[in-house]
Amino acid sequence: MKFDIAVIGGGIVGAATFYKLQKRNPNLVIALFEKEEALAAHQTGHNSGVIHSGLYYKPGSLKAKNCIEGRHELVSFAKEYGIDHDVCGKVVVATEEKELPHMDRILSIGAENKIEGIEKITADQVRDIEPHVKSIGGIWVPCTGIIDFVGAAKKMVDLALSINKESKVYTGCEVKGVEKNENFSVLNTSKGNYEANYLVFAVVFKPIDWLEKMM
């Protein structure tokens, strides 16, 4: 079987890539390959579920842009498709005097990154928000939240599949190698060979031998 694009890895990055590519290009036939029987079974399914605000990233950097724009998009997506989430806010606290200059630095990065509603708060205000935290002051970040990333990833994949009925998801299908031809690539998987014109790898957490050889 031949696809326009193959996305390898069914965590949140692969799922979001599949969804965005399919939404922008409804006519392209795309395949997602995931080695586990279920999607989002690795980092995506075992993280802290925090929707990060973009508080720590260098202003103007791609990381800051990605985090801030991504947060807005993720919360809108969760609202539109009923994904469990809660924009409950968070506090960043200092517990010792020596941490206060660092807090001021974080606050100014947050202000430059236009993180909505951040403010410096006193130890008493921290205690009102979170009675179990003992601090000497903090920063209130109201736009941070938590989300069911597994639910979000699965919904993105379902939506992508509903856009083009010929697109496919292969779970329990490990990509074991890739042969590059002039115009397309052949994926060698645990369930046979598949061809694709373009490949997107959304798998790399630790080095994979065959992927390194390709690069």
Ligand X SMILES: Cc1cc2nc3c(=O)[nH]c(=O)nc-3n(C[C@H](O)[C@H](O)[C@H](O)COP(=O)(O)OP(=O)(O)OC[C@H]3O[C@@H](n4cnc5c(N)ncnc54)[C@H](O)[C@@H]3O)c2cc1C
The only residue of 205, 212, 213, 215 in contact with ligand X, by rule CB under 6 A: 205
The only residue of 154, 174, 185, 197 in contact with ligand X, by rule CB under 6 A: 174
The residue (of 72 and 134) whose beta carbon lies closer to ligand X is: 72
Residue 144 near ligand X by CB under 6 A: no
CA atoms within 13 A on the CB side of 127: 7
- From 21-29, 107-115, 135-143, 200-208, give the range in contact with ligand X by CB under 6 A: 200-208
Residue 14 near ligand X by CB under 6 A: yes
Residue 11 near ligand X by CB under 6 A: yes
Q: Which residues in the 23-82 window bind ligand X by CB under 6 A?
A: 33-36, 40-44, 47-50, 52
The residue (of 137 and 175) whose beta carbon lies closer to ligand X is: 175
The only residue of 3, 5, 7, 9 in contact with ligand X, by rule CB under 6 A: 9
Residue 168 near ligand X by CB under 6 A: no
φ and ψ at residue 98, rounded to 5 degrees: -65, -15
Residue 175 near ligand X by CB under 6 A: yes
Q: Applying CB under 6 A, which residues contact ligand X?
A: 8-14, 33-36, 40-44, 47-50, 52, 174-175, 202-203, 205
